Amino acid sequence: MEPPDPTWWRPELHAPWFHITADGQITCETWTDAPADRARWRLGNCFQTRAQAEHARATIREAFRRWRQHEA
């Protein structure tokens, strides 16, 4: 059984949106409702603005830094 869809913002078809790539870059895409679009959205890696994506990236980097400090 699939978990329910998240309740956060989801782009309209053909609307621009931003996500963080695997190497930490921020990319603007056009929403096509492709499987990759939906996967990023379900993960929470789907933002209305570049500023939101930049803030999320900084938060993620800080979480990684903290995790690495406790790992050592």
**Residue ranges making up the domain that contains 47:** 16-71
Asked if the model's pLDDT at residue 68 lies above 80, the reply is yes
Asked if the model's pLDDT at residue 72 lies above 70, the reply is no
**35 lies in some domain:** yes
Q: What is the sign, positive or negative, of the torsion defined by CA atoms of 44, 25, 62, 48?
A: negative
- Both tokens assigned to 69: 């400090």
Contact 50, 28 (CB under 8 A): yes
pLDDT in tens, 10-41: 999 999 999 999 999 999 999 999 999 999 99
What mean pLDDT comes out for the span 37-66? 97
C-alpha gyration radius of the chain:
14
**pTM, rounded to two decimals:** 0.88
**6 lies in some domain:** no
**4 lies in some domain:** no
**67 lies in some domain:** yes
pLDDT of residue 5: 80
Q: Which residue has the higher pLDDT, 68 or 5?
A: 68
Count Cβ atoms below 10 Å from residue 32 Cβ, excluding itself: 12
Domain count, the chain: 1
**38 lies in some domain:** yes
Strands (E), 1-72: 16-20, 26-30
Contact 54, 15 (CB under 8 A): no
